[in-house]
Chain A
Amino acid sequence: MQILKNKTNIDFISKRKPALFLSTLLNLAIIVGIAAFGFNFGVDFAGGTVVEVKFDHPVTAQEVRERAEKGGLPDVSVQNIGAADENTFLIRMGGVTQLNEESGAKGKEALEALGGVRNVYSDLANGIIRFRSEQPMDAAAVTKAVESAGIGVQEVRDLGEAQGGTGYDYQVVASGMADRVVAALGAGLEKPDFEQRRVDYVGPQVGKQLRNRGIMALLYSMVAILIYVAFRFDFKFGPGALVAMVHDVIMVSGYYLVSRREFNLTAIAALLTVVGYSVNDTIVIYDRIREDMAKFKGKPFAEVINIAINDTLGRTILTSGTTALSLIGLLIFGVGEIFDFAMAMLVGIVVGVYSTIYIASPLTIWLDERAAAKEARLRASGNVDHQQPNAA
């Protein structure tokens, strides 16, 4: 069996300018889109709480939402995941703990009403209210006051007397959102008709840290690959590979942007894998271009590239085809982020092939032409240098 029966001779290179124009336009649109709308950050990066619940009878997302609202959770997003008959939902809330700006202000009032309390400070990031009191306080009284403001209390910490005798320090630790979800959904029921299957809870500071690390990982790997390509190939191949990588990352980001699927740690893993895959593909064709450059010494560079692309076209289709094939299982059985991972990879495979042909190679031609033009200028100005413009 053979996919391409006869040797192809498609003139890829002549269409490089419109392709480059189109790609640039699309990339810019995605970047503007990200700046304007932003990603749908998952709980990994945005911080917050996600609870996955599975009901033992059919319910709709709308019913779940209504129940949550009735139980006193107005700002939740409910999303159906898995097959419709699985009755499984993701309930997402912005808050990590029950302490937020609004309830924190109420809590402050309630604490100050106890008398002798000052320096009340709500540490929203850690879900802690700190305060100093003139007299030692009773933990139960503090708990009661804070709970009256609608904040669940996990613990009241007694930090002891402040140095210099200016008062006693306390911390009130607010309890998490997952508690509230279960309470809200189960309100009025004798026995809950659902199972809490998963809880993800990420503090905002950790979220920020995870996000920064993810972005750094992407940048580091691009630079490392660039160094490797520059070392293994001629320098003029490097920028093409890099721009192709960036192009692919932006395009796959576009998938997350347009589909509004959750952008989280798995998405970063997908982007990194796409980087690896994209450069993998680019390098296979670069290898062939280098080989053909030695073979067809007299031919113009652009033509050599066209031959190399055509020669490897069968392999390109096959390889991307089999990789896509191996993803089919994940697309069918993968739930949630694994499905997204497979989908992002699929997009990455397609744009990876495209960028190798229409981004990496044309850029290499352009760099080569510029080098040739520079040489021509030098020669014209009398600074004769007998070097072949296409010598590698």
Chain B
Amino acid sequence: MDRGWWWKFGLIVAVTLGSIWFLIPTYYSLVVLDRDQRNNLAVLEERMPSWAPPAKYRLNLGLDLQGGIHMVMRVDTKTALQKRTERRAQQIVNYVNDKKLGEVTADTDPEKLEVTLTAKDPATMDAIQKEVLATFTDFKEVSRSGAALTLVQDESQANVFRTEAVDQAMLVIRRRIDKWGVAEVDVRKLGSDSIQISLPGRSNPEQAKELVGTTAQLEFRMVDDSNPQFFAQLLQATPPPEGSDITLTTEGGFPQLQAPTREAIISYTQDKVPENRVVLTECIANPVKKNECTSYRSYLLDRNVPLTGESLAGADANISQLNEPEVNISFDPAGAREFERLTEAGVGRRMAIVLDDNVQTAPNINEKISGGSARITMGRMGGRTFEEWLGEAQTLALVLKAGALPAPVTVGEIRQVGASLGDELIRKGGLAAVLGLGLVVLFMALYYKASGLIADIALLLNGLLILAGLAFFNATLTLPGIAGFVLTLGVAVDANVLINERIREELGHGKSARAAVDQGYDRAFWTIFDSHVTALISAFILFFTGTGPVRGFATTLIIGLLASLFTSITVTRVIMTYFVHGRNAKVVSV
């Protein structure tokens, strides 16, 4: 036995043991843990032995196998863009009037996203055109005839806006689902205008649709600080119910209630607030996981909503001259007037920015703000890094925009699978895989005898490698994935059939056992390689063009084909070589 053989043998043993090691989290999550704990990584980590791989490397079950809702929401960027065009047109008109460049009216074409400005006095149009194009750089000129100037939104600007609209919708959807309290939710972008949402364990698609399909509601409400001790007194007068974990905190200068859940605060304060007042909560974000709230804090707010997101024209995060992050917001003319009135009356008070009934922030009003634009400074830096500090400003800007520019979201696709159906499919899929594998293993052993058994070892190792590979890539096993698993094993057998048939042929030509095995492998190699590469090509294309279950199928196929190349060429050859070279067998049992 030469050195190369031992090296290869060691590799195979290492790969086998490594695969088994990698399947420990999968084994624990699917077999050892209770069903409802299946997706709980913390519990999984706790139960597994310390030498096991991290819990996140486990084979997920697709929603079709564990039950839940898969949704694809389409963001109606077209409507949002139409709204934006109308708003910008109004801004242009205001600008022209404010600058006293002349008097214009605007007419928008929602289909082409065009704005046509018509000047009362054609002589002023030249000056207007120059000024408007220099100021509103997201527009460019389409045509000009006399007193009429037609502008269109710059396509690249429109694209930026479309992307933003989808990001905003995603943010809002994620926050809403967090409010719903679904664990393991997955929200991600799909293509250019769609958002994919996975809700494991949920069963009511209509409720889910309602939850994520509505547009965000942004409000500006005044904080009632007329009695700063309100919450402290409330807590003293009526102690909160046992187990609600409501405590008093004075972070930020005012006593506030703090509780681990939103419901605790809302139900406790219900009917205990003065008329025309309402209690809403702010989410205290988990410093590690950005989309989770560790606790909630209460605010006492005016019930009436003087200003909503409809009046907001824009919001952007900047770095101020003092090198501090801030958010600049601007209002449309009507909003600006209302904002001025509010800030004038409320100097020294706080104004809460509320999105979907969640207080985002409640900055202090330092002075009357006129002119329709305001700055929200982000407080002290505290223990944050500058990036985190700036990140908070950017998130706030995004939230404000999400409320200000409602891009309607519609349902593109919903797939819901009940948990009992999922269990049944796992059982049937598993049975199908075991039966298919068993039949092939049995047949190979009968047909090729010892060589068949060697092929069977390779086949079982192949199955192990696929599962470990899926776990390693944190892939999701779907029902079509199981079909892909079975099919790959069929293709892997083909490689062994090719080799064994070649060996038989070489033996038929009267070659010695050694020569027959070596030549059989050498000659079959390129055929096996070619056939695997072509199959891989179609698998990769399937992966890149497919979504959902089809992608799961492609993933399984790709991992399976790579594993099959390894097992059929290297593994079986090492074993065969051991017998004919190492043990010097004179006959090949094939």
Contact = CB atoms under 8 A, between A and B. Distances in A.
Chain B contact residues: helix, strand, loop or mixed = helix
B440 to A, nearest CB: 5
Interface in A236-288: 265-266, 268-269, 272-273, 275-277, 279-281, 283-284, 287-288
Nearest to A171: B408
B542 A221 contact: yes
B431 A333 contact: yes
Contacts of B418: 195-198
Contacts of B491: 277, 280, 323
Contacts of A288: 527
A326 B501 contact: no
B414 interface: yes
A78 interface: no
Contacts of A311: 505
Contact of A283 (B432, B490, B531, B553): B531
Given A266-B550, A334-B432, A341-B480, A201 B414 contact: yes
Given A269-B550, A272-B541, A333-B428, A179 B206 contact: yes
Q: Which of A161, A217, A276 has the most CB of B within 10 A?
A: A276
Interface string B515-533: 0000000010011001101
Nearest to B537: A224
A299 interface: no
B414 A1 contact: no
B534 A279 contact: yes
Contacts of A268: 546, 550
A294 interface: no
Contact of B416 (A159, A198, A276): A198
Nearest to B430: A333
Given A280-B494, A329-B435, A314 B413 contact: no
Interface in B531-571: 531, 533-535, 537-539, 541-542, 545-550, 553-554, 557
B95 to A, nearest CB: 14
A317 to B, nearest CB: 10
A155 B213 CA distance: 9
Contact of A155 (B106, B210, B420): B210
Interface in A160-219: 160-164, 171, 173, 175-176, 178-179, 195-203, 205-206, 209-210, 213-214, 216-217
Interface in B407-437: 408, 410-418, 420-421, 425, 428-429, 431-437
A91 interface: no
A74 to B, nearest CB: 22
B215 interface: yes
A204 to B, nearest CB: 10
A239 to B, nearest CB: 16
Given A272-B542, A322-B497, A326-B489, A1 B534 contact: no
A326 B415 contact: no
B498 A284 contact: yes
A335 interface: yes
A272 B546 CA distance: 11
Nearest to B531: A280
A137 interface: no
Q: Which of B210, B431, B504, B542 has the most CB of A within 10 A?
A: B542
A25 interface: no
A157 B90 contact: no
A163 B494 contact: no
Given A287-B527, A315-B498, A325 B550 contact: no
Contacts of B490: 322-327
Given A176-B206, A330-B432, A342 B86 contact: no
Interface in B71-106: 72, 74, 76, 83, 86-87, 89-90, 106
B70 to A, nearest CB: 9
Interface stretch (B21-29, B292-300, B443-451): B443-451
Interface residue range, chain B: 35 or more
Given A283-B534, A335-B428, A325 B206 contact: no
Interface residues of A, number: 87
B213 A173 contact: yes
B160 interface: no
A205 B74 contact: yes
Interface string A293-336: 00000000000000000011011001101111111111011110
B346 interface: no
A202 B412 contact: yes
B493 interface: yes
Contacts of B408: 128, 157, 171
B179 interface: no
A116 B312 CA distance: 28
Given A332-B435, A334-B428, A335-B428, A224 B541 contact: yes
Contact of A322 (B83, B194, B443, B527): B443
Contacts of B546: 213, 217, 265, 268-269
Contacts of B437: 326, 329
Contacts of A277: 491, 535
A95 interface: no
B439 A329 contact: yes
B549 A216 contact: no
Given A154-B210, A265-B550, A314-B501, A276 B539 contact: yes
B486 interface: yes
Given A1-B446, A329-B432, 10 more contacts: A198-B415, A201-B414, A206-B194, A224-B537, A228-B533, A265-B549, A276-B537, A283-B530, A283-B531, A321-B443
15 contacts: A127-B410, A157-B215, A175-B206, A197-B418, A201-B413, A203-B74, A206-B194, A269-B480, A269-B550, A276-B539, A284-B527, A318-B501, A324-B490, A328-B436, A333-B428
Interface of A: 1-2, 52, 54, 126-128, 154-155, 157, 159-164, 171, 173, 175-176, 178-179, 195-203, 205-206, 209-210, 213-214, 216-217, 220-221, 224-225, 228-229, 232, 265-266, 268-269, 272-273, 275-277, 279-281, 283-284, 287-288, 291, 311-312, 314-315, 318-319, 321-330, 332-335, 338, 341-342, 345
Interface of B: 72, 74, 76, 83, 86-87, 89-90, 106, 108, 191, 194, 203, 205-206, 209-210, 213-215, 310, 406, 408, 410-418, 420-421, 425, 428-429, 431-437, 439-440, 443-444, 446-448, 479-480, 482-483, 486-487, 489-491, 493-494, 497-498, 501, 504-505, 523, 526-527, 530-531, 533-535, 537-539, 541-542, 545-550, 553-554, 557
10 closest A-B pairs by CB: A329-B435, A329-B432, A323-B490, A329-B436, A217-B545, A326-B490, A276-B538, A326-B436, A206-B412, A201-B414
